[in-house]
Amino acid sequence: ETGVTQTPRHLVMGMTNKKSLKCEQHLGHNAMYWYKQSAKKPLELMFVYNFKEQTENNSVPSRFSPECPNSSHLFLHLHTLQPEDSALYLCASSHLTGPSYEQYFGPGTRLTVT
């Protein structure tokens, strides 16, 4: 399935590095999301973009910086991360940000911070 794609699939980075995660959706959706999934924890919503405008930032540290140049692409820029930021980062999209709109996930980027 290629509805929502993410690159890279795996990333190992040092605490002083800068890297970016990329997400692209081919579903004609208008809303895109970043989630973090850590072991033994539920998915945590990080950022929401609706028609390219950020509508939600759930108190995410500034070392994570999102960018949404258009409704099909979403980036997560990473800098000076901590080891506890190691997790699976999932991108999702939906038609709109409403309660009944189902979200479709990409395969995720498994990030390890050393």
Partner 1 sequence: RKEVEQDPGPFNVPEGATVAFNCTYSNSASQSFFWYRQDCRKEPKLLMSVYSSGNEDGRFTAQLNRASQYISLLIRDSKLSDSATYLCVVNVGANNLFFGTGTRLTVIP
Nearer to partner 1, 109 or 113 (CB): 109
Q: Which residues contact partner 1 by CB under 8 A? A: 40-43, 45, 48, 50, 55-56, 90, 97-100, 102-108, 110
Residue 108: helix, strand or coil by DSSP? Answer: coil
Question: How many other CB atoms sit within 10 Å of the CB of residue 35?
Answer: 21
Residue 52: helix, strand or coil by DSSP? Answer: coil
Minimum distance from CB of 5 to partner 1 (Å)?
A: 11
Minimum distance from CB of 47 to partner 1 (Å)?
A: 10
